[in-house]
Amino acid sequence: MNNIKLGVEVTAAHDLVPKDGEGSSSAYVELKFDDQRYRTSTKEKDLNPVWNEVFYFNISNPNNLPNLTLEAVVYSYNQSTNAKDFLGKVCISGSSFVTYPEASEFYFPLEKRHIFSRVKGELGLKVYYTNDPSNRLSMPPPVMESDHIQFSEGLEAGNEIPKSSSRESKSNTRHTFWHLPKQQDSAPKPQPQPQVTQHVSAAKSESQAPKVMQANPGIPGQAFEYKLRETSPMLGGGRVVGGRVIRSSYKPVSTYDLVEQMLFLFVRVVKARELPTKDLTGSLDPYVEVKVGNYKGVTKYFEKKKDPEWNEVFAFSRERLQASVLEVQVKDKDLMKDDFVGVIRFDLHEVPTRVPPDSPLAPQWYRLEDKKGDRSNNNGELMLAVWYGTQADEAFTDAWHSDAITPPDMSASAANHIRSKVYHSPRLWYLRVNVIEAQDLITSDKGRFPDCYIKAQLGAQTLRTKPVQSRMGNPFWNEDLMFVAAEPFDEHLIISIEDRIGQGKEETIGRVSIPLAAVRKRPDDKNFPTQWINLQKPSSSDTHEEEKKVKFASKLHARISLDGGYHVLNESTYYSSDLRPSMKQLWKSSIGVLELGILNADGLHPMKTRDGRGTADTFCVAKYCQKWVRTRTIIDSLSPKYNEQYTWEVYDPATVLTIGVFDNGHIAGNKDTKIGKVRVRISTLEAGRVYTHSYPLLVLQPSGLKKMGELHLAIRFSCTNMTNMMFLYGKPLLPKMHYSRPLSLMQTNTLRVHATNVLASRLSRAEPPLKKEVVEYMCDVDAHFWSMRRSKANFYRIISLLQGLIAIGKWFTDVCAWKNPVTTVLVHLLFVMLVCFPELILPTVFLYMFLIGLWNYRYRPKNPPHMDTRISYADNTIPDELDEEFDTFPTTKGTDVVRRRYDRLRSIGAKVQSVLGDFAAQGERAQALLSWRDPRASALFLTFCLFAAIILYAIPFNVMALLAGFYTMRHPRFRSKYPATPTNFFRRLPAKTDCLL
């Protein structure tokens, strides 16, 4: 017998539904766990019953505990009808069970059994597991059973009645419920209970053999260490169980509820005045040292200044404080030894606590003490503010943290890279330069016809038109050159006309510089008037005065505009986090709020060596829409705790949140190293549910797939406008400009590279900067490169889709072979019915799909999708394929001929890979219609199926066929140039591209 027991304490229930017709209920609770059932006593006529009863269950296999579920069902006993009415239930996963010292009472909201159940109220439970020998049921406790409940088979004290017993014994067998009353000093004397005869088989005195189950079963073939694991952390609002934050009766609910609240001692050093001089020269180089126990923070110092202003904040984790006194010392910076100026001491037990949205604590002037504690001397004054707060404090992001103490080898410039920051990426625009023609070109050689092309440059982007040779000196191009521009528009567009004189020789005929701030913004595809632009000679000055003196100049006919109706794709289209157009006036209202809690990371691999041991200095970056966030860097820790919460507005559910983990290399002057990445598609999240999972950080390296650790996140999507979100599924995925004036595939890929470079350039100029390697990893710049592994992965995705058709073909073959005569006869009858009544075909199909969708609702995914190593074909790839995937482009693996052939093969393979991926995505979207991967899309589709079935049953089939045929063959003038609503709906469905590495 196993010594580990599961203890369940049923305390009370609140606000139950009345069921007896008299405005009350007689409630009791049934507990089910690991094939064992217990029940409490019945509380007559009480909508707020109190039980305080304790039950203990045997755990057959402790290793299988995370896969077990405790079910507590509340019933109301109706004495008149001798029946029980359902009042609600609570299901608790075994992964959320804790040991006895950590257990506390929680009130769980009662859940419905089905959609028509009328349920409300809460049930108080305290659940824990223990191996205390006193909890073993060695002696039979008092029996609790009502005469109106009978079972044909049951369990007693962990023993199961054998199913092989005779029918007579089964008919007389009753399930016996045992309970242990809660020990109380003033507990009332228990009432005598009716004794029930127990039928226990001697052949089964021991519990059943444990079931062999795979923990957290997932896709077959994927290793357990690479799977997503659901967790039940204790957050600010309570413990998360089953996607809900369960509040504790002893802990108030907090608004900062997606992370574990951490208390910090904040010290704001503002300024000083009237500081005394310490040097012989009469100067003072002051700085402040804040010290709590072994932790110390230092401000910058000022040279020769007696009234310095620092305005710096220090944060010390309260759980790491090992002192009761805070010392704030003012010192004088010196070459040999810093001189002591004065000190202020605070008793930490008297420091006030500030809870937002309270106003910030006002700083005060404190007189400095000397080494003897005397304030009478003229030591100067220091303005300070000291308080306790949490991560919700406004000073948290700007503070120097005790868990990010500067190592001795960190430079002053690198110290800025350890703070948490929020970045707003610049809005990107497409700059369209429509070059039409040029006139009156003057070349240096009058005896030849110019062979001209237009060269346009914006920053690091340079584009050219095709060369045109004109006999009249008026070349005509009519070409569009597309650039990526970023706000604020402080750059200039430089356009020049180049004449090809010979091989490798070019001459500039004229040029012009146009500031982007003067370019017109265009919201749609309507053309506006063109303009003639005077070109300046390369030797002439660009000043306005010199331009006025020019009486004759070459001219360029062009149309230049900032197209704000497009969305600039700066990331892979599969993982886009934003689909809004560039022009803010075209934005729609938000449909919800996305909240992310970055909790902690576990089991990280050492990324560097410090003091002879492996360690890591990690931080997280999250990207969604135009908002990028960066957590503080946790120095020297392989299990960092971040506990930072961020919020985004959601404008489209078909978008992806990306979270990356990096090792801070700027501390030692190196690049940031990627550790792993997590993607979460918003459309796969249920509104209002809190998702708490441990995500494996997977990185593909030349040596193979490697797990770098696990990242614990808490995610919640709150919908603020359900109607608008449902209507979005029928609207185009991208802004209308992408369909009225579409860009070619080559243009899109080129502009994506330019957009990523512009974004990386702007974010790298922030403080602290987000470096280029971080931005490129978050934007998946290598997602479209050739890879044999990705091609195989897409091929096997297609094979997986075809398995369903193969199964149908095999089933039909079995029907034709009469392997199951009953099935074959039923198929014949169905075939005859559909042939005789063809109008039943479509409504039957829609009704069948509706029923399948309802059946699949109970098997809908409970967690967001994550990178799947089996789908990615990352665990079976060979070293040669990895060497090819990590090879540079172009390759350096051989001679020039081999290189050209190899590059050509990779280019062709990349196109085939994209086609295979798109084909697989279409099929996976079709599967997502009934799989509830996107719950809102499945609900819309099932509603459509139901109405379609009703309409097709009511309207004759031939009428519907005529209407469908005429609609399909309608005149082009009645067609819209934008995609149809079914096409838009289908394109918004999620595919398994989110699960690819």
- Looking at per-residue pLDDT, the higher value among 384 and 175 belongs to 384
Q: Does 384 share its domain with 487?
A: no
* pLDDT confidence bin for 249, thresholds 50/70/90: low
pLDDT of residue 759: 94
- What 8-state DSSP symbol labels residue 927? H
- Last residue of some domain: 563, 596, 629? 563
Strand, coil or helix: what is 450? coil
List the structure tokens of 245.
Answer: 């934050």
Query: Do 487 and 593 fall into the same domain?
Result: no
Whether 951 and 810 share a structural domain: yes
Beta bridge partners of 327: 291, 345
| Residue 333: pLDDT over 50 | yes
Per-residue pLDDT for 313 more than 60?
A: yes
Residue 134 has pLDDT above 70, yes or no: no
730 part of a folded domain? yes
Q: Kindly state whether residues 613 and 484 are assigned to the same domain.
A: no
Confidence of residue 421 (pLDDT cuts 50, 70, 90): confident
Least confident of 47-61, 571-585, 775-789: 775-789
Q: Which residue has the higher pLDDT, 991 or 546?
A: 991
Q: What is the mean pLDDT of residues 193-218?
A: 33
Tell me, yes or no, whether 244 lies in a domain.
no
Residues 120 and 55 in one domain: yes
Interval 216-233: pLDDT, tens: 333 345 677 788 888 888
Per-residue confidence (pLDDT) for residue 909, from 0 to 100: 78
H or E element that contains 313: strand 309-317
Which residue, among 373, 4, 37, has the nearest Cα to 174 in the 3D structure?
A: 37
In-domain check, residue 922: yes
CA 329 to chain centre: 44
Coil, strand, or helix at residue 439?
Answer: strand
Residue 419, C-beta contacts closer than 8 angstroms, at least 6 positions apart: 397, 398, 399, 400, 404, 632, 633, 768
Single out the residue in 103, 130, 157 at which a domain terminates.
130
User: Among the listed ranges 279-283, 342-346, 544-548, 697-701, which one has the minimum average pLDDT value?
Assistant: 544-548
Please tell me the predicted confidence (pLDDT) of residue 543: 46
Distance CA 540, CA 308 (A): 52
CB atoms under 10 Å from CB of 567, counted, come to 20
Q: Is the pLDDT of residue 201 over 80?
A: no
Distance CA(992)–CA(286), nearest Å, equals: 59
Percent pLDDT > 90 in the chain is 26
Residue 153 predicted with pLDDT over 80: no
Task: Give CA–CA dist 94/71, Å, rounded.
Answer: 11
Question: Between residues 971 and 917, which one has the greater pLDDT?
Answer: 917
Q: Are strands 400-401 and 309-317 parallel, antiparallel or unpaired?
A: parallel
If one counts the domains in the chain, the total is 5
* Tally of CA atoms within 13 A in the half-sphere of 58 that contains its CB: 21
Strand arrangement, sheet containing 704-719:
229-230, 690-701, 704-719, 592-602, 641-650
pLDDT at residue 568 is higher than 80: yes
C-alpha pair distances (Å), 600 with each of 406, 618, 631: 21, 11, 11
Domain boundary among 369, 396, 419: 419
pLDDT score recorded for residue 635: 85
- Antiparallel, parallel or unpaired: β 673-681 and 656-663: antiparallel
Note whether 799 and 689 are same-domain residues. Answer: no
pLDDT digits (tens, 9 = 90+) for 462-509: 999 998 887 777 889 999 999 999 998 989 999 999 888 877 788 888
Whether 698 maps to a domain, the answer reads: yes
Q: Are residues 718 and 833 in the same domain?
A: no
Residue 182 placed within a domain: no
Q: Are 232 and 221 a contacting pair, CB within 8 Å?
A: no
772: Cβ contacts below 8 Å, ≥ 6 apart: 760, 761, 764
Q: Which band of pLDDT confidence, cut at 50, 70 and 90, is reported for residue 414? A: low
Tokens for 459, please give them: 């920053």
What distances in angstroms separate CA 444 from CA 262, 449, 465, 474, 499, one per listed residue?
74, 11, 22, 16, 10
pLDDT tens for residues 900-957? 667 767 777 787 788 788 888 888 888 888 889 888 999 999 999 999 889 888 887 7
The answer to whether 578 and 568 are in contact (CB under 8 A) is no
Tens-digit pLDDT profile for residues 718-748: 999 888 899 999 999 999 999 999 998 889 9
Q: Which residue has the higher pLDDT, 935 or 893?
A: 935
Is the model's pLDDT at 416 over the cut of 80? no
Instruction: Tell which wins on pLDDT, 829 or 365.
Output: 365
**C-alpha–C-alpha distance, residues 585 and 565, integer Å:** 10
Phi, psi of 448, deg, nearest 5? -130, 155
CA distance 87 to 24: 12
Question: Is residue 176 domain-resident?
Answer: no
793 and 774 assigned to the same domain: no
Taking the model in full, what pTM does it have?
A: 0.68
How confident is the model at residue 563, as a pLDDT?
92
Instruction: Verify that 973 and 888 share a domain, yes or no.
Output: yes
Residue 172 lies in a domain: no
Place of tokens 């690479």: 226
The CA distance from 772 to 756, in Å, is 9
Q: Look at 87 and 408; give whichever has higher pLDDT.
A: 87
- Model confidence at 164: pLDDT above 50: no
Which amino acid makes up residue 473? Answer: G
Residue 281 binned pLDDT confidence (cut-offs 50, 70, 90) = low
Q: Are 620 and 600 in contact (CB under 8 A)?
A: no
Q: Starting at the edge strand that comes first in sequence, how are the strands of the sheet with 381-389 ordered? A: 364-367, 381-389, 264-273, 309-317, 400-401
Asked if residue 559 belongs to a domain, the reply is: yes
Residues 622 and 558 in one domain: no
Q: Is the pLDDT of residue 330 over 80?
A: yes
Q: Which two tokens stand for residue 943?
A: 């509603």
Find out whether 370 and 278 touch, Cβ atoms under 8 Å.
no
The pLDDT mean for the chain works out to 80
What does each C-alpha distance from 750 to 891, 903, 936 come to in angstroms? 20, 18, 35
Residue 31 β-bridge partners: 38, 72
Same domain? 833 vs 944? yes
Alpha-carbon distance 256 to 747, whole Å? 44
Given a cut of 60, is residue 848 above it in pLDDT?
A: yes
Q: List the CATH number of the domain containing 78.
A: 2.60.40.150
Q: Which domain holds residue 102?
A: 5-130
- The confidence score (pLDDT) of residue 485 equals 94
pLDDT score at 834: 74
Pairing status of strand 476-486 against strand 428-439: antiparallel
500 with 415, same domain: the answer is: no
Question: Among 28-32, 138-142, 228-232, 566-570, which stretch is predicted with the lowest mean pLDDT?
Answer: 138-142
Q: What is the pLDDT of residue 404?
A: 61
pLDDT at residue 203 greater than cutoff 80: no
